[in-house]
């Protein structure tokens, strides 16, 4: 089995570049999906309080027989818990649900600039507490635009280790990725295959045919070669395995550029500057 590369974070920790995402996996299916992923070789799971399956992620990890230290687990703060006291309670509740005494990575899920009087700075300062206590080995943000990151940079002490944003061939996010590169913030790309939307693209199909891989594998490989961290989601064992088999081939620079040129700034999810669901 080819090893998954580790990406070095700005605080000395490292994260497997390929993980397994569990958004929209029913709690009743989660233990099995996580167990399958861990058997296949994934060692990084991406969940969130708002996915409603942290407990089952913890069960899947416990059931695998792997040491806690062998699996990198991320969770995220719910949108209704941005106020510092609520965030402290929510973090404790996430740890309890997972059955862990620390998280590898804990994120603010959405900036919610139209809620909480526009304050996400005090929320970030609360995550800084979790980091200093060692209960979150790394802290980061999700769906933050450069202007949100700039505000944290000016007002707080710790630079986020990651920004988890929607990225796929139809939404290449060049501006956010450039800002993150400049500030040593690792980029995690969510919906890496656009929830399936990019797989029928003819350019991706023809590259896949030429290299003898599936369109999903080609797109996941494109992310890896651009240096982003990804965690595709599936409950289908054959796809969980397929999505892991992306380290035994390489795309040419021309292929990478051709896929990047498919960008049309097309989101599958909400716009972080407008999203206000609490
Ligand atoms: P994804 O791009 O991973 O697509 C998942 C869907 O694609 C699956 O439901 C399945 O139908 C299909 N699929 C998976 N593998 C396939 C294959 N090999 N061939 C054909 N179809 C395949 O989308 P996602 O689940 O939205 O994103 C991945 C992860 O990113 C999530 O599970 C979650 O962990 C994270 N995420 C984070 C946020 C955020 O706001 N931070 C938002 C959405 C997702």
Q: Are strands 44-46 and 229-230 parallel, antiparallel or unpaired?
A: unpaired
Q: How far is the CA of 106 from the centre of ligand 1 (A)?
A: 19
* Average of per-residue pLDDT values in the chain: 98
- What residues have CB less than 8 Å from 163, skipping those under 6 apart? 140, 141, 142, 144, 149, 176, 180, 185, 186, 187, 188
Q: Per DSSP, what are the bridge partners of residue 136?
A: 103
51 is catalytic: yes
pLDDT value for 1: 58
Mean pLDDT of 135-147: 99
Q: Which residue of 16, 17, 20, 21 sits with most ligand 1 atoms within 8 Å of its CB, as the best mutation to test the pocket? A: 21
278 pLDDT higher than 70: yes
Residue 18 and residue 189: Cα distance in Å, rounded?
A: 10
pLDDT digits (tens, 9 = 90+) for 15-31: 999 999 999 999 999 99
Q: Which residue of 19, 23, 266 sits with most ligand 1 atoms within 8 Å of its CB, as the best mutation to test the pocket? A: 23
Per the CB < 8 A criterion, the answer to whether 57 and 98 are in contact is: yes
pLDDT digits (tens, 9 = 90+) for 45-98: 999 999 999 999 999 999 999 999 999 999 999 999 999 999 999 999 999 999
Mean pLDDT of 110-118: 96
Residue 21 and residue 135: Cα distance in Å, rounded?
A: 22
pLDDT digits (tens, 9 = 90+) for 189-241: 999 999 999 999 999 999 999 999 999 999 999 999 999 999 999 999 999 99
- Asked if residue 270 has its Cβ within 6 Å of ligand 1, the reply is no
Q: State the CB neighbour count (10 A cutoff) for residue 278.
A: 12
2 pLDDT higher than 80: no
Residue 136 and residue 249: Cα distance in Å, rounded?
A: 35
pLDDT value for 44: 99
In the chain, the percentage of residues whose pLDDT exceeds 90 is 99
In the chain, the percentage of residues whose pLDDT exceeds 70 is 99
- Extended beta strands in the chain, E state: 6-8, 14-16, 20-21, 44-46, 72-77, 103-108, 136-142, 162-166, 186-190, 229-230
Residue 278 and residue 267: Cα distance in Å, rounded?
A: 20
The minimum-distance atom of ligand 1 relative to the CA of 199 is: 20
Q: How far is the CA of 233 from the centre of ligand 1 (A)?
A: 4
Confidence of residue 135 (pLDDT cuts 50, 70, 90): very high
Residue 43 and residue 69: Cα distance in Å, rounded?
A: 10
- Asked if residue 239 has its Cβ within 6 Å of ligand 1, the reply is yes
Residue 75 and residue 109: Cα distance in Å, rounded?
A: 9
For residue 120, the surrounding DSSP H or E stretch is none
- Asked if residue 272 has its Cβ within 6 Å of ligand 1, the reply is no
Q: Using CA positions, which residue lies closest to atom 8 of ligand 1?
A: 234
Confidence of residue 148 (pLDDT cuts 50, 70, 90): very high
- Asked if residue 268 has its Cβ within 6 Å of ligand 1, the reply is no
How distant, in Å, are the alpha carbons of 45, 55, 56 from that of 95? 14, 9, 12
The minimum-distance atom of ligand 1 relative to the CA of 232 is: 3
Residue 215 and residue 208: Cα distance in Å, rounded?
A: 5
267 pLDDT higher than 70: yes
Q: How far apart are the first and last CA of the chain?
A: 42
């Amino acid at each position: 089995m080819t090893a998954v590369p580790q990406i070095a974070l700005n605080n000395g920790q490292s994260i497997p570049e390929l993980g397994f995402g569990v958004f929209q996996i029913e709690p009743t299916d989660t233990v099995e999906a996580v167990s399958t992923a861990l058997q296949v070789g994934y060692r990084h799971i991406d969940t969130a309080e708002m996915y409603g399956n942290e407990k089952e992620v913890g069960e899947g990890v416990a059931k695998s027989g792997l040491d806690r230290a062998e699996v990198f687990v991320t969770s995220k703060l719910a949108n209704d818990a941005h106020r510092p006291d609520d965030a402290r309670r929510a973090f404790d509740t996430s740890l309890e649900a997972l059955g862990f005494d620390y998280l590898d990575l804990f994120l603010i899920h959405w900036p919610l600039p139209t809620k909480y009087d526009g304050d996400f700075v005090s929320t970030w300062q609360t995550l800084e507490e979790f980091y200093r206590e060692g209960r979150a080995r790394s802290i980061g943000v999700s769906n933050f635009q450069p202007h949100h990151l700039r505000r944290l940079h000016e007002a707080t002490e710790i630079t986020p280790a990651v920004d988890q944003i929607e990225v796929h061939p139809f939404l290449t996010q060049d501006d956010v990725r450039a800002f993150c590169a400049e500030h040593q913030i690792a980029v995690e790309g969510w919906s890496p295959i656009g929830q399936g939307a990019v797989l029928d693209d003819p350019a991706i199909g023809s590259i896949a045919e030429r290299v003898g891989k599936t369109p999903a594998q080609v797109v996941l490989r494109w992310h890896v070669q651009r240096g982003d961290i990804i965690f595709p989601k599936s409950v289908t064992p054959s796809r969980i395995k397929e999505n892991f088999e992306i380290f035994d081939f390489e795309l040419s620079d021309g292929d990478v550029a051709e896929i990047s040129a498919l960008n049309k700034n097309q989101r599958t999810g909400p716009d972080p500057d407008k999203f206000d669901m609490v």
